[in-house]
A and B are shown apart, each in its own frame.
Chain A
């Protein structure tokens, strides 16, 4: 990291203020480490392995990943946009409830929905059993529904939990469009039913693109669902290349390929939104479009339509997990490992949240103190982790921290006469590192948004009253931004708890979190104990969804 730190610092001495810039530079450098390590390792990779990978693994993985992305993209775009249009354009019974209920599937991580449905739709599970009973069959051998363990099943399940990304963005876009746009189009001869296709949809396109790209990022990040359902995506290939073949150069080359897909998605998003940054209309006081009242039968039909994604994406898996967990608790009590799982999960997540909040605030505050191009670059670099799949970050850290751990151990053994063991990888510090790298953008973004609402004169007056930059942060900015920071802390915390791929790769030996325990059971094909873990995760993940629903109620998001 050879970034020029000498911004044209507007007349400030190298004092308290520059400490924040140094901290931001350090943060940005640390965030970049895994990506640079990946690049370094991939370049070094042995030719023999790579040709094997390129011939046997990569084409299939890329093909499957592409199919999955296209399928999930189409599904979330149509479901998310459709649901958003229904709740903003029509008035039907239960509409207000559906407005927030449609967010609920956001609380179900991809690996949990797959885990739940494998059980629900198992040949001897509740659904197939009910179907057979209805049709009068007695055994799965006589009748069974098609297996969901394939690409189609994976696309459908991912679509049903990822559509809220599109729903949130698109609904906000619909709500902030002035009614006058709809009204003027109707005076120009567009029929009520054609408004959606000819006006609303083109207007919402930038929001749809944003939502779809977020959903696709999550798809790329997913490791549990695709593996449980037998889809060998790039992410799964990376994981198995490392875990079963111990081939780190190969895994890093695949990770780079995955990173290329991410970059392609971001580029496609930017391209699709070019010239599409619709300025919010000047007079937005006119209120949104007026909802159309519909007859009762039609209203119930609309309600039914909205209920489908909520039932499939949230109610069914959550209810199933709850029943399984209840049965399990009654049968065997709390599993022995449950308490340690929870302790590990909370400790890692809380630690990472703390680090993320501190470093994210530092990066955002440095950008405020030094309004130059280099601090803006530091901010950008420090927040690039948001788009990187957990697997990519984890493989990068395995390389970098593995090298560091080995060196430290060698130095300590030869000079001090004792072994340090694996400092990072053995202690879980690597896990905190990975979480912080991935989620720094959340806290930095929240802090930057909070700071942008505080006038510069408050900084100035605080300094004129004898406070330096750090004191000003503590006495002025933190008290004024604490709500935004707390909300971002909650988001980071929950994201850490849900995180699976990086946790799988970087947790210390024999340390399980709720998510990895669940993964382990599902991978072995045993579903009993993990239902409690899954239910816990869904329960915690509901917190930010509730917060989002409350924020979204005002119509602004």
Chain B
């Protein structure tokens, strides 16, 4: 968390904390979000990402710390703004469409404070923007999952919220539909200049969707940064393993490099010489090689994954097998091959 906070944050969370049970507490959380920024809040289920969303929404109250929206305190030691007063939009995982209202009336629900003609114009605009114009008179149960998701989004955006919160908004969709709807949603958020927090448990979705990714674990933020940052430069083993599965190779730290059974890799660790450490080697960093110092191994298992093939190599003189991923297709079980490891893509962690 050494990145500077956005200069003029739209949403600023400072030291927010809430205890939910003896086992689980959220925070303290520090997070600032710039205007029009899209944040992906990611983590395994139960990590506290939805709880954080509910604190921001006002559906739960922090015990300590404060939440500021545009410089106005929403929650603090002496203030608590009710959720209905916050001007924050929320898209729920189950969409929470009102079953007794048509698509139009669902979108109209939050526009009660607008004059009627203006509200209707806003609804028509939202229907148009989300491509739902033909479905305005339908009831939610007559819509497909993707259409329901769009109605939920249109309804949340209609009152022009300062911040839009989305709790696993794509997880109820089929895989092929999900990618398209996600892209449409991001495009719409960009077009409307909406500041948004999207909660997801899907690492790929997190990396691809937002401006910044915030990774949480056990109620705390582990790391926040661009997708590239989190993927390439994870701050700890948890962050590393969340986005990629690694070959974890025991190592010893000596003279600024990791010594392993597969060679030594330069790195910087803040531990004494001779201390045990672990090298995280990406399967993609292992490639077939004809170099003289390449590592010799025998293929013991292959599994075809579509675009790539995952290959397990037994290495002479090493206890652990190496897993590599390659696009080459000309291997057979039992083949003896030689591979090289890209030292730039090896991560080092103290044990």
Contact = CB atoms under 8 A, between A and B. Distances in A.
Interface of A: 10-13, 15, 455, 457-458, 460-468, 471, 475-476, 479-480
B113 interface: yes
A460 B85 CA distance: 13
28 contacts: A10-B60, A10-B61, A11-B61, A11-B62, A12-B82, A13-B82, A15-B82, A455-B94, A457-B93, A457-B94, A458-B98, A460-B57, A460-B83, A460-B90, A460-B92, A460-B96, A462-B98, A463-B82, A463-B84, A464-B57, A464-B83, A464-B84, A465-B84, A466-B84, A466-B113, A466-B159, A468-B82, A476-B100
Contact of A476 (B57, B88, B98, B156): B98
Contacts of B155: 461, 465
Contacts of A12: 61, 82
Contact of A464 (B61, B90, B93): B90
A533 to B, nearest CB: 41
B29 to A, nearest CB: 15
Given A13-B61, A465-B155, A465-B159, 10 more contacts: A11-B80, A458-B98, A460-B57, A460-B96, A462-B109, A465-B109, A465-B110, A466-B110, A467-B84, A467-B109
B89 A479 contact: no
Contact of A479 (B83, B93, B100, B110): B100
A465 B57 CA distance: 11
Interface in B35-86: 57-62, 80, 82-86
Contacts of A461: 90, 92, 96, 155
Contacts of A11: 18, 59-62, 80
Contacts of A468: 82, 84
B148 to A, nearest CB: 13
Interface size grouping (class) on chain B: 20 to 34
B93 to A, nearest CB: 8
Contacts of A475: 109
Main secondary structure of the interface of A (DSSP, over half): helix
A464 B59 CA distance: 9
Nearest to A16: B82
Quick one: which of A10, A457, A458, A476 has the most chain B CB within 10 A? A457
A537 B84 CA distance: 48
Given A464-B156, A466-B159, A457 B96 contact: yes
Contacts of A10: 60-61
Contacts of A462: 98, 109
A462 B59 CA distance: 11
A455 B95 CA distance: 11
B317 interface: no
A12 B58 CA distance: 8
B3 interface: no
Contacts of A471: 84
Contact of B83 (A455, A458, A463): A463
A230 B80 CA distance: 66
B112 interface: yes
A464 B100 contact: no
Given A458-B98, A480-B99, A466 B61 contact: no
A9 to B, nearest CB: 9
Contacts of B88: 464
A455 B96 contact: yes
Contacts of B93: 457
